[in-house]
Amino acid sequence: MGGGELSRCPGWGKLGVWAIASRLKEDTMMIKPLRNTLLLVVGALLLAACGGGPAPRVADEPGGRLEGPVVGQRWNLLLVGTNERLEMPERPHFVIDRDGRVSGSDGCNQINGRAQLGENNRIAFSQLATTRRACPQAQAAARVTGMLERAYRYLIDHDRLVFFGPDQRVLGGWRRAN
């Protein structure tokens, strides 16, 4: 549109254009602080939502006794990843007691450590220590211990326990011993 065409439109004369431009400038000045506040609130909400949930409850806290279907059961290794079975001198297994202590075997060596459980099936193993017996399957035993160290969440389906890593990939499966 040329300048002559604007003058034919009601309210678009020379003064009308300046009035609209100044009005837009006032509205923009009012919108900027609101927009910035809104962006700040949305950003804070996103950070809170992505925080990964509450931290696992540590059994060392006063009165901190662990409860749940994982606790007090012996779990025997079924699979590493989604389909690999390990042939070991001893069946890898672990038990988490109510005080958060972990004990078991990686198939070659004894395992001891601590476990923490949190909401949404969050699990974390820490302070894992193993004996250092000579074993032809030492690399496979290290994979079992590594699975426990990387476990982030778990899922129980009947007598099966599956560990997932922080990236939600399956780390391995265990079966409740009878």
H runs (alpha helix) in the chain = 3-8, 14-49, 138-150
In a domain, residue 55? The reply is: no
Give the domain range for residue 153. Answer: 66-176
* Cβ(111)–Cβ(128) below 8 Å: yes
41 shares its domain with 89? no
40 shares its domain with 94? no
Over residues 89-109, the pLDDT tens digits come to 899 999 999 999 999 999 999
Q: Fill in the amino acid letter for 68.
A: G
> CA 128 to CA 151: how far, in whole Å?
12
Q: Which residue has the tokens 């609130």?
A: 41
34 shares its domain with 71? no
160 shares its domain with 95? yes
Please state the length of the chain: 178
In a domain, residue 58? The reply is: no
Mean pLDDT of 39-54: 46
45 shares its domain with 129? no
The DSSP bridge partners found for residue 77 are 174
pLDDT: is 16 or 72 the higher one? 72
pLDDT of residue 75: 97
pTM: 0.64
Tokens matching residue 177: 């011993």
116 shares its domain with 90? yes
> CA 116 to CA 100: how far, in whole Å?
6
Tokens matching residue 32: 């900027």
Query: What is the count of structural domains for the chain?
Result: 2
32 shares its domain with 70? no
Q: Which residue has the tokens 């890898």?
A: 92
87 shares its domain with 163? yes
In a domain, residue 57? The reply is: no
In a domain, residue 61? The reply is: no
